[in-house]
Amino acid sequence: MEPAVQRLEPQRSRLHAPDPGRRVETRPRYSLAVDEFALKVLAWYRRHGRHDLPWQVPDPYVRWLAEVMLQQTTVTAVIPYFQRFLAAFPSVRALAQASQDEVLAQWAGLGYYARARHLHAAARVITEHYGDGFPRTADAWAALPGVGPSTAAAIVAFAFGVPAPILDANVRRVLSRYHAVSGRDARALRTLWTHARDHTPTHEVAAYTQAIMDLGALVCRKAPDCAACPVAAGCAFEGEDAPTVRRARPERAVFMAVIRDPARGVLLVRRPSHGIWGGLWSLPESVELDDLPAVVAALGVDGRMGMACAPVHHTFTHFRLTITPILVEGVSQAFGVAEHHDVMWYKGDGSGPGMPAPIRRLLNQFLEVP
């Protein structure tokens, strides 16, 4: 039988004197024994956690791919992309041997494309330095492009059973509430890493790592379901998170030229490898409408700026983008534009090259136009 857990009352002290304007905590006011936290989370996980996710196999390549895809993206959104990507690149060697275009094409629509570029670069480092093997420590994983300390810890815990603390967004929410750590500064983060380390068991590491992630995703959500939480008895959460300052997203706007050739489709250009949608294929663009004719002329296309079509909006983490497509009319030289590394014609056939999802949607409209 599980030992009865006594609900501990808050230990008020001068350090924690009520101060309605401020919630800065430096140490827990409530606590269960550290091991008890892990034991309770594990017991809850056995009954209520997720056990059938497609990446729940002890394979470092699979776990690495899944952890990178899950950065800033939900499980539900990731599953179909994960399955397609793994089918296209079933091993780290297959990924390393692919071109960046092929990798971005499989990633297109999942967003945060730097993840795909880093994954590809890291695959090449792994095959070069580890042959058919993989790094075995969290530090070695964290040295690879696109792998932070929490992702590295999750990979070694899942793939090799190595005890390493994780602190992704879900775990951060659980631990900051449980231990009443407020703030997002470096000091708060250090405190949370210490708690994460203290709670991580040396046995059943893979199960615990999934369990604490699941607790954050399924129970300790933005609106927490404390009645269903296995560690509620020791939790310091008082019903309200410290307020976060939300700034309105700045607005940005671009104009994109739609250059059509009846035989070859729409002209696309490859974006620079850095910045938003880095390395993906898109329409020629300019920030100022007056600059668009020069952008089009530089591609070897004549023609005049015609009708502006309905704008398309896309929200990034830090800003909102409005794209206004401009039809280029009276084109006589488009036929002469040859494809090369950074320019291609797209007819809308097949899955096409790697394109951002809003550009693909936008193109689908134009490619239906006879």
Considering Cα of 127, then 128, then 133, then 136, what sign does the dihedral take?
A: negative
Smallest separation (angstroms) from ligand SF4 to the CB of 174: 5
What does the alpha-carbon distance between residue 16 and residue 288 come to, in Å, rounded to a whole number? 55
Query: Least distance in Å: CB of 228 to ligand SF4?
Result: 8
3-state secondary structure 222-240: CCCCHHHCCCHHHCCCCCC
Closest CB 242 distance from ligand SF4, rounded Å: 13
The DSSP string of 119-163 is HHHHHHHHHHHHTT----SHHHHHTSTT--HHHHHHHHHHHH---
- Dist CA 356 CA 281 (whole Å): 7
Residue (110 or 229) nearer to ligand SF4, CB: 229
Partners of residue 190 on adjacent β-strands: none
67, 238, 288, 339: which one is catalytic? 67
Q: What is the dihedral of CA 282, 287, 290, 294, to 10 degrees?
A: -50
Task: Select 220 or 269, whichever has its Cβ closest to ligand SF4.
Answer: 220
User: Which of 324, 325, 323, 313 has its CA nearest to residue 259?
Assistant: 325
| Interface ranges with ligand SF4 (CB under 6 A) | 174, 177-178, 219-220, 224, 226, 229, 231-232, 235, 237
| 127, two tokens | 């095959």
- Angle of the 186-199 helix axis to the 169-178 helix axis, nearest 10: 90
Least Å from the CB of residue 13 to ligand SF4: 21
Determine how many CB atoms are found less than 10 A away from the CB of residue 54: 14
Judged by CB, which is closer to ligand SF4: 235, or 355? 235
Active site residue 25: no
- Packed helices 205-214 and 34-48: angle between N→C axes, nearest 10 degrees: 80
User: Which DSSP category does 344 fall into?
Assistant: E
Report in angstroms how near the CB of residue 27 gets to ligand SF4 at its nearest. Answer: 17
Q: State how far the Cα of 153 lies from the Cα of 200, in Å rounded to an integer.
A: 11
Using the minimum distance from each CB to ligand SF4, give the nearer residue, 41 or 69: 41
At residue 249, the 3 state secondary structure works out as coil
Give me the least distance between CB of 158 and ligand SF4, in Å please: 22
Min separation Cβ 120 and ligand SF4, Å: 37
**Which of 45, 141 has the CB closer to ligand SF4?**
45
Q: Which is nearer to ligand SF4, 235 or 296 (CB)?
A: 235
The one-letter code for the residue type at 354 is: G
Cβ-based nearer residue to ligand SF4, 34 or 57? 34
Residue numbers annotated as active site: 67
